[in-house]
């Protein structure tokens, strides 16, 4: 990995930095609910929603709403290193970064496997922001073992009739479209009888019910399909080959590179609080064990950055980071938890007060970050799944 920018990359970094100087209000990066990977979206105010609409419009005008997409599809057509620079600069400013299920997962999967009609119809609506997407993968009995899913899609003339249930569907209550995997051949081995669909969430027979998490936020849902008729033209790729498309989608999901910056910023915030908090608020912060704990978190955030740099260097060479993406996801998810625990250790009892109570530590971010961090080792593939991928694909170990 070449850590230094070449002249062209340095020029692009200046362009991004100048854009952020001009367009991103500094106070937006200092909001009390904004910290690393958790931006308080579950409690977003009307003002924040309006800001995000304006912000996304500015990004799309430059092609930065989907920086990796080819320009012919409305994206930025950026190189791997340019995408890294864009994500890194946004992360350091704590600016909302390009992404989302439509931009990050659905769109790229459609580009790889979609018909020309599907690309022409769906991709422009993702870029414009007309369509928000959700991911209809997990089920109550098929989370970590996703290939055990039981939602059925039966061909009936020009439609598939879908029955079943999905769960933990983030953003389904806002989504216009969804990427769905369902079983189309129950007699085939479980990985070979699954198909991949692009679903209009307004289809009759689809019901979205909220799941309110322990932060009292409505971020994900359960989705029911009851004789929902989905046009056969919504099938992506070949029938019964959907598992292979789904793994492509999950590889896109696990290839994020900005989290190491977010974690470095959290370490920086924790150190600042430990130094500046009144003695009665951070007595623990002044003992040696907490200093050692903060040192460990700082080192781990740097290790995470190096893992991400390795992925970037592979992508620049045209290689696909499969087990490496799982290594990054595993390390990042579990570091999220360790950072939250360290924050609670530093703040002591004050860490239990939220931003509506006084005197809350660090603007009340700690209890929400602590609770939110528990989802990190689950979403996008559990830590156990990541370890299995690393063991089999990285170390060549047999299935257990």
CATH number reported for the structural domain that contains residue 309 in this entry: 1.20.140.10
Would you please indicate which residues are annotated as catalytic (active-site) residues?
Answer: 253
Residue that terminates a domain, selected from 99, 122, 147:
99
Domain-located, residue 187: yes
Asked if residue 249 belongs to a domain, the reply is: no
The mean per-residue pLDDT over the stretch 184-210 comes to: 96
Q: In this structure, is residue 145 part of a structural domain?
A: yes
Do 277 and 373 share a domain, yes or no? yes
Spatial distance between the Cα atoms of 227 and 356, rounded to a whole number of angstroms: 45
- Residue 125 belongs to a domain: no
Percent of the chain with pLDDT over 70: 89
Q: Residue 75 is part of a domain; what is its CATH number? A: 1.10.540
Identify whether residues 386 and 258 lie together within a single domain: yes
pLDDT at position 255 is 47
Residue 124 falls inside a structural domain: no
Shared-domain flag, residues 58 and 90? yes
* Domain around 202: 133-240
Q: What is the pLDDT of residue 353?
A: 83
Token match 């156990």: residue? 384
What pLDDT is stored for residue 390 in this prediction?
92
Are 259 and 299 members of one domain? Answer: yes
* Average pLDDT in the chain: 86
pLDDT of residue 303: 94
Q: pLDDT band at residue 235, thresholds of 50, 70 and 90?
A: very high
pLDDT digits (tens, 9 = 90+) for 290-299: 889 999 999 9
CATH of the domain at 203: 2.40.110.10
**226 and 319 assigned to the same domain:** no
Which ranges of 78-130 would DSSP assign to H, the alpha helix? 80-93, 101, 107-113, 116-128
Give 195's pLDDT tier (boundaries 50, 70, 90). Answer: very high
User: Are 230 and 153 part of one and the same domain?
Assistant: yes
Residue 164 lies in a domain: yes
Residue 246 in any domain: the answer is no
**One domain for residues 267 and 387:** yes
Structure tokens at 154: 């039966």
Q: Are residues 145 and 70 in the same domain?
A: no
215 and 263 housed in the same domain: no
Could you tell me if residue 44 is inside a domain? yes
Per-residue model confidence (pLDDT) at position 166:
97
What DSSP line would sit under 348-381, residue for residue? GGGGG--TTSTT-GGGGHHHHHHHHHTTTTTTTS
Do 231 and 274 share a domain, yes or no? no
Q: How many domains are contained in the chain?
A: 3
Domain boundary among 184, 208, 240: 240
CA atoms 57, 63, 67, 72: torsion sign: positive
Whether the predicted pLDDT of 388 surpasses 50: yes
| pLDDT tens, position by position, 33-44 | 555 443 444 445
- Looking at 194, 215, 240, which one is the last position of a domain? 240
């Amino acid at each position: 990995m070449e850590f230094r920018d070449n002249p062209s990359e340095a020029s692009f970094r200046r362009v991004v930095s100048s854009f952020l100087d001009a367009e991103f209000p500094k106070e937006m990066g200092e909001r009390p609910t904004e910290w690393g990977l958790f931006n308080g979206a579950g409690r977003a105010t009307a003002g924040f929603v309006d800001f995000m609409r304006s912000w996304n419009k500015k990004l799309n005008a430059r092609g930065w709403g989907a920086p990796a997409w080819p320009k012919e599809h409305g994206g930025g057509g950026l190189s791997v290193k340019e995408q890294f620079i864009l994500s890194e600069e946004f992360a350091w400013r704590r600016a909302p970064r390009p992404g989302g299920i439509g931009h990050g997962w659905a769109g790229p999967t459609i580009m790889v496997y979609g018909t020309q009609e599907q690309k022409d119809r769906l991709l422009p609506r993702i870029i414009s922001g007309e369509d928000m997407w959700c991911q209809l993968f997990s089920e109550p009995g098929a989370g970590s073992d996703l290939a055990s899913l039981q939602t059925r899609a039966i061909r009936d003339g020009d439609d598939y009739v879908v029955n079943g249930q999905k769960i933990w569907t983030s953003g389904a209550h806002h989504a216009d479209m969804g990427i769905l995997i369902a079983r189309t051949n129950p007699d085939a081995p479980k990985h070979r009888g699954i198909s991949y669909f692009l679903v209009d969430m307004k289809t009759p027979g689809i019901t979205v019910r909220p799941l309110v998490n322990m932060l009292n936020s409505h971020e994900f849902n359960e989705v029911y399909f009851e004789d929902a008729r989905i046009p056969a033209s919504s099938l992506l790729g070949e029938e019964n080959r959907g598992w292979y498309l789904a793994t492509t989608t999950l590889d896109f999901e696990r290839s994020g590179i900005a989290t190491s910056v977010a974690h470095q910023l959290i370490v920086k915030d924790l150190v600042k609080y430990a130094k500046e908090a009144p003695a009665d608020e951070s007595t623990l912060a002044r003992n040696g064990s907490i200093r050692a704990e903060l040192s460990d978190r700082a080192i781990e955030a740097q290790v995470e950055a190096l893992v991400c740099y390795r992925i970037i260097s592979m992508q620049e060479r045209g290689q696909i980071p499969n087990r490496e993406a799982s290594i990054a996801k595993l390390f990042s998810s579990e570091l999220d938890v360790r950072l939250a625990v360290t924050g609670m250790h530093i703040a002591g009892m004050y860490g239990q007060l939220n931003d509506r109570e006084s005197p809350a530590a660090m603007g009340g971010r700690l209890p929400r970050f602590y609770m939110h961090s528990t989802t990190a080792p689950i979403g996008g593939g559990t830590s156990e799944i990541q370890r299995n991928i690393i063991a089999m694909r990285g170390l060549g170990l047999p299935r257990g």
